[in-house]
């Protein structure tokens, strides 16, 4: 039953990520569509011998190219997360996994006007329930955004300590909010499956899990 419940939590995270990415893709398509309309206007102006500066055309095409690149990056991140469930147990670079979750929470960070920074010791390899770990990090970051001060910073620092992986989250909190309600039910299920623990101290949250290798 516990495994089934943790799987449900992972599915809910996947749904949250898909919903967020659909909004981002919709935004990029809106910008592309708007600039495509400008190009059509330019073409009509040129046909009427009104003339259009090459700089204006280049600006529009560059904007479209940037949005195409942005869309490709968004879909690449979603694809990486989706493939995390390919194997029951999977291996991954800790820094790369954390960086992916920072990218996937980028829209929420922008909405809260919070800057996220990441520092991770190089060469740390995870061999764990990867989709569970990523889901836990995603939900943890969203919780921190909720208590974080607008315009503040979320700093994530990860390192290997003895036989454990230690991840420290430091957030500038709003006065009325705290981390007293962490973990919630879903986060606890994910922590239990990973055999991980957590503790909070004022504006810092620590996650500790075994540094299990293949």
Tens of pLDDT, residues 72-94: 999 998 988 888 876 777 788 99
pLDDT tens figures, 163-212: 889 999 999 877 655 677 889 999 999 999 999 999 988 889 999 998 75
Confidence of residue 214 (pLDDT cuts 50, 70, 90): very low
pLDDT for the residue 90: 78
Residue 36 has pLDDT above 50, yes or no: yes
Burial class (CB in 10 A: 0-12, 13-18, 19+), 63: middle
What band does 141 get if pLDDT is binned at 50, 70 and 90? very high
| 5, 86, 92, 119 from 213: Cα distances, Å | 25, 18, 10, 21
Going by CATH, does the domain composed of 2-83 fall within 1.20.5?
yes
Question: Is the pTM of the predicted complex or chain greater than 0.75?
Answer: yes
Q: Would you state the pLDDT for residue 177?
A: 58
% of the chain residues with pLDDT over 90: 54
Q: Which of 212, 196, 203 is nearest to 173 (CA)?
A: 203
Q: Where are the chain's structural domains?
A: 2-83, 88-210
Q: What is the pLDDT of residue 45?
A: 79
- Higher-confidence residue: 194 or 214? 194
pLDDT at position 176, please? 59
pLDDT at 109: 95
What tens digit of pLDDT does each residue of 97-111 get? Answer: 999 999 999 999 999
Per CATH, which fold does 88-210 belong to? Heat Shock Protein 90 (3.30.565)
* Residue of 10, 20, 24, 15 whose CA lies nearest to 134: 10
Q: CA 138, CA 141: separation in Å to the nearest integer?
A: 5
- First-to-last alpha carbon distance for the chain, in angstroms, is 26
Could you tell me how many residues make up the chain? Answer: 214
């Amino acid at each position: 039953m516990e495994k089934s419940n943790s799987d449900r939590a992972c599915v809910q995270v996947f749904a949250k990520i898909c919903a967020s990415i659909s909004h981002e893709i919709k935004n990029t398509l809106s910008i592309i569509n708007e600039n495509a309309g400008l190009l059509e206007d330019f073409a009509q102006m040129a046909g009427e011998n009104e003339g259009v500066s090459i700089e204006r055309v280049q600006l529009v095409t560059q904007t479209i190219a940037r949005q195409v690149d942005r869309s490709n990056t968004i879909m690449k991140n979603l694809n990486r997360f989706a493939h995390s469930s390919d194997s029951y147990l999977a291996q991954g670079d800790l820094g790369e996994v954390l960086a992916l979750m920072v990218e996937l929470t980028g829209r929420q960070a922008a909405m809260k006007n919070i800057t996220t920074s990441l520092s991770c010791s190089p060469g740390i390899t995870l061999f764990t329930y990867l989709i569970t770990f990523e889901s836990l990090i995603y939900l943890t970051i969203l919780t921190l955004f909720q208590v974080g001060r607008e315009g503040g910073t979320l700093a994530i620092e990860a390192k290997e300590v003895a036989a454990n992986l230690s991840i420290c989250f430091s957030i500038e909190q709003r006065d009325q909010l705290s981390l007293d309600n962490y973990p919630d039910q879903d986060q606890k299920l994910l922590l239990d499956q990973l055999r991980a623990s957590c503790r909070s101290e004022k504006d810092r949250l620590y996650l500790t899990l075994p540094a299990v290798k293949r």
